[in-house]
Every structure is written in structure tokens, then in C-alpha cells.
Structure 1
Amino acid sequence: MLACPQCKGTDQVVKLEPYWRSLGQDAEGKRDLACPPDFKAQWQWPAGCLVGAVLLLSASEILWGLALLVVAAVTTVVIRYRSTQAQEARARWHTSMYCRHCDRPFTPAEGLAS
């Protein structure tokens, strides 16, 4: 059993996800304790930049084509980073614990083994 890292109690520690599901729709903490939203990756910008870069490079516009390739690469990296961050936040939420005494969520790594 895990103890809350703040109050050191074990009797009010529950898993966050089932506790959140048990709350009523208009409960005070329902919105604050909700699972982080999933990141909706929108690949239109990098794909459009890539197509534009190919067209510009084929038209011998090397500088503009390379600039669009860089934009496509940077937006792809940013999208992947945000997607990974959202997945990690959701995974952390699914494994989190909640102390009903302190009204504080915490990860099992933060919890104190009793």
C-alpha cells in the first residue's frame, strides 16, 4: 500500500482513475482531476510544406525549397514531441494515486511505501 507523500496517510489513498470515474458529473474536482487530453496531430502543415518543397526544388528554386524542407522537418519534430508528451501525461494519469485527505494526486514513484 502506498502512503501519501504529503500527509503520510494510507487510509485515504485510492487509484485516481476509478476515483475520478466515481465522481458525479457536477462534482467539484471532476474537471481538475480529469485525464489530460489526447494530442490531435495535424499533419497537413508538414505534408503541405514537403509537397511545396518538392515542387520548388523541381522548379530550380533551391533556396525556397530547402527553406520549406526545414519548415516541414521542424513542424514534424514539434508534432512528434507534443504527441509524445501527451501520451506520457495520459499514461502517468492512468497510474496515478489520489489522496482524499490532501486532495492531491501523486504518482506511485512519489508515494511512500508503507
Structure 2
Amino acid sequence: MSEAQTVTDSPGIAKELTAFQQNILVILAEEPRYGLAIKRELEEYYNDEVNHGRLYPNLDDLVEMGLVEKSELDKRTNQYSLTESGKDAVLDQLGWVFGKFISDDGRADELRDLIAAQQ
């Protein structure tokens, strides 16, 4: 999303992503990570094992979509980081979710409190 664009009532490319792919983007929004670190974060979130055969094809799809950048840390380890388009996809999805959730001032206050607790 360019500076001239704003978050709209539609999640943009985020609507084309699976929840699993959206979760990968959210994890990478914090900081770049290598594959096994992403896997551990997802396993903690899902409280279940995440198969390599699920993770890496999804990472490759996100790279092909231009939402994630893949770089080589060493000959055996790749690092993944969020691109600007990936950050925009996360913001678009959050904007859409928040827009649906906030139906009155009370809910807006709940969301502000949640955000403040994360800082």
C-alpha cells in the first residue's frame, strides 16, 4: 500500500491468503526468522506440530506473491522477512478485522486496551 492509499473495508490480497499464511506474515512482522524459528512460533500458537511439508510450500507461496523475502543465512539455512507488500497485507487484514469488530465505543476501548497491553 503506497502512502496515498489507506486501509479500506476490504482486506486486499490478505483475503486470498489462508489463515496459516496470514499467521506466518504476522510472525514475520515482528522480525525476520529462519524456517525452524517460524515453525516453532506456529507450533506454540497452534499447540500442535507443524509439518515441514506444510510450512515450506506456504513460505514459498508467500515469496512468490512478493509478501515475504527469502535470503540465505548459510548453505543450509534460509531467512525469511516481511516485504513492504507483506506488511501492507498484515495491515489490510488488521484494518478489516478491526473494522468488523469495532461496533461501538466500548469495543473500541477494548481494542485500545489490548494494544496498550502489548506495548
Greater RCO (CA < 8 Å, at least 6 residues apart): 1
TM-score in same-fold range (> 0.5):
no
Bigger Cα Rg: 1
TM range (shorter): under 0.3
Identify the structure with the greater helix proportion. Answer: 2
Instruction: Using structure 1 for the length normalisation, give the TM-score.
Output: 0.23
